[in-house]
Amino acid sequence: MNRLTSARLLACVTLIGALCVPVMAADGASAQVPVKTFELDNGMKFLVVERPEMATVAAAWVAKVGSSDERPGITGLAHLFEHMMFKGTRTIGTTNADRDLEIIDEQEAVQEQVREVYAELRRAWRLGEIESPYDSENRPERLIELNKEFDKLVEEQRAIMIKDEFDQVYTEAGATFMNAFTSQDVTVYINTVPANKAELWFWMESDRLLNPVFREFYSERDVVYEERRLRTESTPTGKFNEMVTAMFWQSHPYSWPIVGWPSDLRVISKAQADQFFDTYYAPNNLTGVLVGKITVDEAKQLATRYFGRIPRGEIEPPDVVTLEMEQLAEKRMSGECDCPPQVEIRYHTVPFGHADSYALDVLSGVLNDRTGRLYKAMIEGAETASSARTRPDSGKWAGSFIFSAEAKGEATPPQLEAGWEAVLAELQKTPVGDQELRRVKNGFLADTFRSLENPFFVMIQLALFEGQGDWTYLNTIADRTEAVTAEDVLRVANKYFEPQSRVVAHYYREEGTSAEPVPPELAALPAAQQQQILGQLKQLTGMTDVAQLQAIVGQVEGQADQVPDEMKPAMQFMARKIKERIAELESSSDGEKN
Residues 40 and 142 in one domain: no
pLDDT at 17 over 50: no
Kind of pairing between the strands at 176-182 and 331-337: unpaired
**Residue 25: its pLDDT value, please?**
42
Residues 501 and 466 in one domain: yes
**Residue 443: its pLDDT value, please?**
79
Q: Give the residue from 115, 136, 161 where a domain finishes.
A: 161
What is the pLDDT confidence band of residue 537, given thresholds at 50, 70 and 90? confident
Q: Could you give the CA distance from residue 315 to residue 281 in angstroms, rounded to a whole number?
A: 11
Mean pLDDT is lowest, of 72-86, 119-133, 214-228, 518-532, for 518-532
Rounded to the nearest integer, the mean pLDDT of the chain is 87
The helix-helix angle for 486-495 and 413-429 (nearest 10°) equals: 130
Is 517 part of any domain?
no
Average pLDDT over residues 462-478: 92
Residues 257 and 179 in one domain: yes
The predicted-structure confidence for 171-212, as pLDDT tens digits, reads as follows: 999 998 888 999 999 999 999 999 999 999 999 999 999 999
Which amino acid is it at 133? P
**Residue 538: its pLDDT value, please?**
67
**Residue 551: its pLDDT value, please?**
66
**Residue 544: its pLDDT value, please?**
67
Task: State the distance between the two ends of the chain, measured CA to CA, in whole angstroms.
Answer: 30
Q: Could you give the CA distance from residue 163 to residue 154 in angstroms, rounded to a whole number?
A: 13
Biggest alpha carbon–alpha carbon distance for the chain: 74
Q: Give the residue from 135, 161, 187 where a domain finishes.
A: 161
Is 413 part of any domain?
yes
**Adjacency order of strands within the sheet including 399-407:** 331-337, 502-509, 342-348, 399-407, 385-394
pLDDT at 357 over 60: yes
Choose among 202, 206, 220, 203: nearest CA to 270. Answer: 220
Average pLDDT over residues 410-434: 96
The predicted-structure confidence for 262-275, as pLDDT tens digits, reads as follows: 999 888 999 999 99
Is 251 part of any domain?
yes
Is 520 part of any domain?
no
Is 142 part of any domain?
yes
Residues 490 and 378 in one domain: yes
The predicted-structure confidence for 67-123, as pLDDT tens digits, reads as follows: 999 999 999 999 998 889 999 899 999 999 999 999 999 999 999 999 999 999 999
Is 544 part of any domain?
no
Q: Can you give the CATH number for the domain in which 484 is found?
A: 3.30.830.10
Residues 191 and 154 in one domain: no
Q: Could you give the CA distance from residue 92 to residue 324 in angstroms, rounded to a whole number?
A: 43
The predicted-structure confidence for 359-395, as pLDDT tens digits, reads as follows: 999 999 999 988 999 999 999 999 999 999 999 999 9
> How many C-alpha atoms does 485 have within 13 Å on its Cβ side?
3
**Residue 137: its pLDDT value, please?**
80
**Adjacency order of strands within the sheet including 176-182:** 36-39, 45-50, 286-292, 56-63, 187-194, 176-182
**Residue 514: its pLDDT value, please?**
59
The residue that leads in pLDDT, 420 or 81, is 420
What is the pLDDT confidence band of residue 221, given thresholds at 50, 70 and 90? confident
Is 562 part of any domain?
no
What are the distances in angstroms from CA 17 to CA 37, 259, 397, 519, 586? 27, 20, 20, 19, 34
Q: Could you give the CA distance from residue 284 to residue 315 in angstroms, rounded to a whole number?
A: 10
User: What are the residues whose beta carbons fall under 8 Å from the beta carbon of 525, sequence distance 6 or more?
Assistant: 533, 566, 567, 570
pLDDT at 44 over 70: yes
Residues 380 and 252 in one domain: no
Residues 452 and 473 in one domain: yes
Residue numbers of the domain that contains 248? 32-91+164-310
Average pLDDT over residues 491-502: 96
**Residue 26: its pLDDT value, please?**
40
**Residue 10: its pLDDT value, please?**
36
The predicted-structure confidence for 287-301, as pLDDT tens digits, reads as follows: 999 999 999 999 999
Residues 124 and 139 in one domain: yes
Is 589 part of any domain?
no
* The total number of residues written for the chain in this structure: 594
Mean pLDDT is lowest, of 95-109, 503-517, 563-577, 579-593, for 579-593
Contact 133, 121 (CB under 8 A): yes
Residues 391 and 296 in one domain: no
pTM of the predicted model, to two decimals? 0.83
Q: Give the residue from 161, 176, 199 where a domain finishes.
A: 161
Q: Left (φ > 0), alpha (ψ -120 to 50) or beta: where does 260 sit? A: left
Domain tally, the chain: 3
Residues 78 and 199 in one domain: yes
Q: Could you give the CA distance from residue 411 to residue 338 in angstroms, rounded to a whole number?
A: 16
Give the best-scoring range by mean pLDDT among 15-19, 217-221, 395-399: 395-399
Residues 47 and 147 in one domain: no
Residues 236 and 368 in one domain: no
What is the pLDDT confidence band of residue 532, given thresholds at 50, 70 and 90? low
The predicted-structure confidence for 296-332, as pLDDT tens digits, reads as follows: 999 999 999 999 999 999 989 999 999 999 999 999 9
The residue that leads in pLDDT, 561 or 15, is 561
**Residue 571: its pLDDT value, please?**
83
Q: What share of the chain in percent tops pLDDT 90? A: 64
pLDDT at 224 over 90: no
Phi, psi of 428 (to 5 degrees): -80, -15
